[in-house]
A and B are shown apart, each in its own frame.
Chain A
Amino acid sequence: MPPEPLAEFELLVMLAALRLGSDEAYTVSIADDIRQRTGRSVRRANVYTTLQRLEAKGLVSTHLGDPRPERGGRPRRLVAVEAEGVAAVRATTAAIEAMVGDLGDVLGEAG
């Protein structure tokens, strides 16, 4: 069965998690990454709920890291992208690229 395509914000979260890697990807860093790259404001609440949904679908897995002093001695919940997650990202971006196709000129003009 082909992987279920990702919603836009899900895709952004997955891409950020992939870039940060399983040692550094957690809610705060993911939100910051999206914010810096896209320039749009990100509600962390959205990141939490999106990650919970992605985890429920089996696209990512999470585990608690070590306690850290700057967090009041609390751990981070680190995010690792699973193979199904990578497949879903690939399928979604492929679909987008296929659709954009030769519209580059049009979009360029429009932009």
Chain B
Amino acid sequence: MTPPRWARWLLRWLAPPDRAEDVLGDLEEVHRGRVGRRGRMLASFLTGLEALDIGVALLGERIWRRGTIGERMASVEPGPNRPSVSWLDFKLGLRMLVKYPGLTLVGGLGMAVAIAIAAGSFGVIYSLMDPTLPLDEGARVVTIQNWDAAISNPNRRSHLHGLMRWREELESVEDLGGFRTVRRNLVPPDGEVEPIRIAEMTASGFRLARVPPFLGRPLVEEDEREGAPPVVVIGYDVWQNRFAGDPRILGRTLQLGDTRHMVVGVMPEGFAFPIAEEIWVPLRMDPADLERGEGTTLEVFGRLAPGVSMDQAAAEFTTIARRLALEYPETNEGVGAVIKPYTEEFIGEEPVALLYTMLGAVFAVLLIACANVANLLLARAAARSKEVAVRSALGASRWRVVGQMLAETFVMALVGAAIGLGIAWAGVSMFNRAIVDTQPPYWIDIRIDPLAVAFVLGLALLATLMAGIIPAVKASGSNAGDILKDESRGSSSLRLGRITKGLVVAEIALSCGLLVAAGLMVKSVVQLRTIDYQFPTENIFTARVGLFEAQYPDSLARRRFYQDLVERLRAIPGAEAAAVTTNLPGTFSGSPRFAVDGENYERDVDYPRAHVANVTPEFFETFHVDALEGRVLTRQDAHGNLPVAVVNRTFASRFFPNESPLGRRIRIGTADSERPWRTIVGVVPDLHMDGVENEEPEGFYLPLYQSDTRFASMAVRVRDGRDAMAVAPEVRDAVLGVDQDLPIYWVRTLEETIAGNTWFYYVFGTLFMVFGGVALFLATIGLYGVMAFAVSRRTSELGVRMALGAQTRDVLRLVLRQGLLQLAIGLVLGLVLAAGLANMLQIILFDVEPRDPMIFLGIIGVLTATGLLASLIPAQRASRIDPLVALRYE
């Protein structure tokens, strides 16, 4: 009938030591009475509560009476079984850092680097993994996509018709709206014309956001009507930077392209919904003007109605999608709808998998660092075993000793954490600068926030425990008498062998895994750099234009524009060749379904797919492309002449194996296509139409003048040795010469364009390289430290052996054997780990097998070499021991 054990423990811990006995007595007496009256269960519960109440009150009283907690910690003598620390321990910890500078440097720095990596990655991962929209009830904002069941692929965007229908029928989602981003030239009254990104958004977007404008009003439904005056809402930064924060901004105009928009509102700082917007204009589209399934596509957003769950909304969507499929089988057959949290739309599953891999790698590095510090501390604990023994002999309890050693470790971890946070902060700043160009959504806010700092402090504590507890318990557990009696080998009485060896094995295994991952990533990057593109990537300037339907209403007007443009581009001084193409080589081109004349296809899904690009005849000259068979496209392939196409090598061999494709005909579209049949007139090499990875290279080229093109890239090849970007002003002038209002965008070299699609290989390659490098460094010093320590402990033993006739070689072998055994076990475990890690990395490896034997062998070699080196130096030192000195060695 005693009170619950935890209640007793709590009171013993919290009560002043001289009061613990009678307080516990009271508790037991009261508890017995309670059990009689209320039964055991309820009594235990009540007694527990009361113990908590009393404990807290007593502790409060103590603090109140003694002053600060610090004074209390310093003044209260610990009870016999209580781990306790005082400021003295922390001071001692600091002093120890100074006294053992080598250990401080290696351990502290190792921990700093590990914590930096952990904190930085945590910052990145946390922001990317579960971003919240910084809006009122942001988690209830959703995005809606069509889902094409036939290709089991979310068709990212939705058409206007779908949106209108959803708006009419949906009850589970409110404020349904859509947006698209376009580029327009911003024409300031004075100064340079500048292309700028604009969001065309339904007014419901502002209602959904629930963010009141800073000045004026948001967009409203009336602005979307036909004939409504053109208005614009601008972001805070635009207001500050372009209008110098003019308080009378409302009513002023902003010229976008050829239209002057009246500013009706300014949004507050930090608002950039839906993605990263600064200028909003009404989305004006009349569905009556458009064929179903045609027209510009939209991104659709909405807010779950109050009390509606995601599942309920999804169910309603499915119902509507089924109805639409029945009504419009030709466009909506097999099209479903997917609804998901808004922020999920922008971060796919692959990056998340990658982030988890990264998180794993981060913790592996942290573990290695902790193992290292633990090892170093073990060594130091061994060296200090006499000191500990003296303390114990003088009456220090075991917990007192453990507490003190943990405090020392904590000081080191804290110093490491402080340095680590600094490094992490710098790293995150760099990361943010690196991703600015990719225009991340505005709610992705990667920074070291208070949560990350708390996380780091938690890590420091955890690291302290992980690294400090074994040495502390080990060191304090020894029998003081034995150690003090052990005159001759004061520092070697501690039996640490198995633990330190285990830690080193773990370190080697973890580094092996990380290094293999790093190796695979590095090889991917190398592969990327050494791709043989079969077309020049240097000396090529690229930029993009998009024609407005208002100015270029038909394909004739558009063709004229491009003809004029190409002539002007070719006339640029310094330009060797210039062309216009819908898709640049080395970048992804769309891949529609098509038919080969003479083949039979039962269903639409049976039609094959291939990449397609519309190019002007100069394309082939610009990219040094010669026909492998037949001819390339020429100026004769103009509108009105025989429709032709040029296919690439893979296309020819896949669709026309064992025969020449020349003279055969293909047609874009499926059974009911109204496009013309095109005669194949030539075969050209593969120009990476599937992007850098080029996993499905088959594709064909159509004459731009026999097609209808609204968006196209310009490519200008300059003479060798000239800076491609130097022609940018001339290209801009050439475009403005044809159309005063047309913006050009994505102004960069072809190399940059291609690199822009591969940045994540570099980012993650670099990250894993850093992880791997740090891991290798840490594991090496860990192994070295342990070996050196083992040798120093065995100095007198080795001396005796040599005095008895052992040769240098024997000593070397003896010491090396220990190191190599650990190395071997570590490598075996590490390879298993590496194989698992490589599988997870597979999705981001470029042209590298996850079991790449070269990488695996290479890493084994590197680890063996460093392991040998780390063991060899102490072994050599051991073999040079003078037996006389060794025997005197204490």
Contacts and interface: CB of A to CB of B under 8 A. Distances in A.
Given A26-B22, A28-B30, A75-B21, 14 more contacts: A28-B29, A44-B50, A45-B53, A45-B56, A48-B23, A48-B61, A52-B61, A56-B65, A64-B21, A71-B28, A72-B24, A72-B25, A75-B22, A76-B25
B21 to A, nearest CB: 5
Given A43-B53, A49-B61, A77-B19, A26 B2 contact: no
Given A52-B61, A56-B65, A44 B21 contact: no
Which interface residue of B19, B25, B57, B65 has the most chain A CB atoms within 10 A?
Answer: B25
A22 to B, nearest CB: 15
Contacts of A74: 21-22, 24-25, 28
A106 B232 CA distance: 74
A46 B53 CA distance: 9
Contact of B26 (A44, A53, A64): A44
Chief secondary structure at chain A's binding surface: helix
A64 B54 CA distance: 19
Contact of B57 (A46, A70, A75, A77): A46
Contact of B29 (A49, A52, A53, A70): A70
Nearest to B54: A45
A68 to B, nearest CB: 7
Interface string A57-73: 00000001000101110
B609 to A, nearest CB: 77
B523 interface: no
Interface of B: 2, 19, 21-26, 28-30, 32, 50, 53-54, 56-58, 60-61, 65
A49 B28 contact: no
Interface of A: 26-28, 43-46, 48-49, 52-53, 56, 64, 68, 70-72, 74-77
B514 to A, nearest CB: 53
Contacts of A49: 57-58, 60-61
Nearest to A56: B65
B57 A64 contact: no
A45 B60 CA distance: 11
Nearest to B53: A45
Contacts of B60: 49
A52 B50 CA distance: 18
A99 B61 CA distance: 32
B8 to A, nearest CB: 9
Nearest to B25: A74
A53 B65 CA distance: 9
A46 B2 CA distance: 23
A71 B27 CA distance: 8
Nearest to A74: B25
B54 A72 contact: no
B22 A76 contact: yes
Given A44-B50, A45-B53, A70 B32 contact: yes
Contacts of A46: 57
Given A45-B57, A52-B61, A56-B65, A72 B22 contact: no
A76 B22 CA distance: 5
A71 B65 CA distance: 29
A77 B57 CA distance: 18
B816 to A, nearest CB: 61
A111 B30 CA distance: 35
Contacts of B58: 45, 48-49
Nearest to B58: A48
Nearest to A67: B25
Contacts of B50: 44-45
29 contacts: A26-B26, A27-B22, A28-B26, A28-B29, A43-B57, A44-B26, A44-B50, A45-B58, A48-B23, A48-B57, A48-B58, A49-B57, A49-B60, A52-B61, A56-B65, A64-B21, A64-B22, A70-B28, A71-B29, A72-B2, A72-B25, A74-B21, A74-B22, A74-B28, A75-B21, A75-B22, A76-B22, A76-B25, A76-B26
